[in-house]
Amino acid sequence: MLFLAIPALLWAVPWWLLVYTATGGPLLWIGSSVFLLGYLCLPATMILGHGRRQSDAAAVVGDTLLGVGWVLFTWSVFGAIARAALILAGVDDPIRSRVVAIAVLAISAALIGWGTVEARRVPRIRNVTVPIAGLGAGFDGLRLLVITDTHYGPLNRLRWSERMVEAVNAQAADIVCHAGDLADGPVERRRAQVDPLGKIDAELGRYYITGNHEYYGDAPGWIEYMTGLGWQPLRNEHRVLERGGDRLVIAGIDDPTGATLAGHGPDLTAALSGAEPKLPVVLLAHQPVQVADAVKAGVALQISGHTHGGQIWPFHYLVRLEQPVVAGLSRHGEATRLYTSRGTGFWGPPLRVFAPSEITVLTLRPQV
């Protein structure tokens, strides 16, 4: 019932504002037919695209309809508020309803166009300095580059992937990390888009953890494939890095969704087992909510993704109900910092509205 009720609400509000109140005669019937078609196509294409059949063409159509529907719904709600204000101001119909409808359509069209460009562009480089307690002089200025939530999927983004890798290598980072949600679908269907990641260079290593979406597809397959590309998966384990006589621990844990698969699931205790307690720890954990355990374990820095920064405004308000942080650098407890990336790619709707993608360079400095 929810699967049908949510699309109904998504399309009913803009239909009422843009068609029912603002048109009449043939336009009313034509507009109503278009919105009814959108309502029927959304659940149908989502099932065909993301269900058992895994039709990429259907997934692209369904995801696009979802994004367009969300933008129209959001701005139709604002349009309804504006319409009420015009009623109070004494503005009569049909001028009132038509002015509001035209404004909502214009804003929605502009945001959908702009959001499409934002989603498909090579992400901007975001530089962030992070103070780390106990960081040795040998690691002062370490450049740790983060990509996450690439979500290689139904829309073929091979050329985007190649250009993104060029942008990553141009930063000459010491370490490169992928914080999960690599791809949507099995290896045999997405490997071509992922292959360019094998060309990323990093002197001190390339590290990868699973996100929740790997477990919707083929997590063991992707772990094996990334290993073959020269990345080091961190599955509830750590590595000790040495430079200039100092040491730093980099650890990674599985996404909580992995608990549904035998032998998977997060285990921070296992990840830090054997690590010298006094050494600063950088932890890769896909979801920001995992920072609660990181605080208890004394982790210096947790790096996460998952939120996409909301991806399409104002969805970040809903994300915030589940996660402690939507984007950026934050502090938790006395000594733990969390960096939450807005993501490098996009999931589902090929739109990004007021939530630009990013390639993040974290520069580590000793905490004074």
Q: pLDDT 10s digit of each residue in the chain, 368 long? A: 777 888 899 999 999 999 999 999 999 999 999 999 999 999 999 999 998 888 999 999 999 999 999 999 999 999 999 999 999 999 999 999 999 999 999 999 999 999 999 999 999 999 999 999 999 999 999 999 999 999 999 999 999 999 999 999 999 999 999 999 999 999 999 999 999 999 999 999 999 999 999 999 899 999 999 999 999 999 999 999 999 999 999 999 999 999 999 999 999 999 999 999 999 999 999 999 999 999 999 999 999 999 999 999 999 999 999 999 999 999 999 999 999 999 999 999 999 999 999 999 999 999 97
Are both 139 and 235 inside the same structural domain? yes
Which residue from 129, 132, 335 is spatially nearest to 250, judged by alpha carbons? 132
pLDDT at 25: 92
CATH number at residue 168: 3.60.21.10
Contact 336/301 with Cβ under 8 angstroms?
yes
The range of the structural domain enclosing residue 314 comes to 124-366
> How many angstroms separate the Cα of 347 from the Cα of each of 121, 126, 182, 357, 361?
14, 20, 11, 11, 22
pLDDT digit string, tens, across residues 134-151 = 999 999 999 999 999 999
Are both 315 and 167 inside the same structural domain? yes
> How many angstroms separate the Cα of 63 from the Cα of each of 43, 246, 340?
10, 48, 24
Are both 284 and 218 inside the same structural domain? yes
φ, ψ for residue 155, nearest 5 deg: -85, 115
Are both 102 and 161 inside the same structural domain? no
Are both 134 and 176 inside the same structural domain? yes
Are both 275 and 134 inside the same structural domain? yes
Provide the β-strand partners of residue 338. Answer: 302, 330
**In the Cβ-directed half-sphere of 48, how many Cα atoms lie within 13 Å?**
15
Give me the number of domains the chain comprises.
2
d(CA 228, CA 198): 9
- 184 φψ region: left (φ > 0), alpha (ψ -120 to 50), beta (else): beta
Are both 108 and 132 inside the same structural domain? no
Are both 33 and 157 inside the same structural domain? no
pLDDT at 204: 97
Are both 238 and 324 inside the same structural domain? yes
Strand order across the beta sheet in which 206-208 lies: 124-132, 358-366, 142-147, 175-178, 206-208, 232-233
**8-state DSSP, 209:** -
Which residue from 114, 104, 89, 131 is spatially nearest to 16, judged by alpha carbons? 104
- Of the residues 91, 120, 149, which one is the last residue of a structural domain? 120
- Of the residues 85, 120, 155, which one is the last residue of a structural domain? 120
Burial (CB count within 10 angstroms: exposed 0-12, middle 13-18, buried 19+), residue 25: exposed
Provide the β-strand partners of residue 332. Answer: 336
Are both 55 and 132 inside the same structural domain? no
**In the Cβ-directed half-sphere of 22, how many Cα atoms lie within 13 Å?**
25
pLDDT digit string, tens, across residues 68-85 = 999 999 999 999 999 999
- Of the residues 120, 147, 170, which one is the last residue of a structural domain? 120
d(CA 166, CA 197): 10
pLDDT at 323: 97
Are both 262 and 319 inside the same structural domain? yes
pLDDT at 205: 96
> How many angstroms separate the Cα of 333 from the Cα of each of 92, 101, 299, 329, 348?
56, 48, 10, 14, 34
Per-residue exposure over 176-186, b if at least 16 CB sit within 10 Å of its own CB, e if not: bbbbbbbbbbe
> What does the mean pLDDT of the chain come to?
96
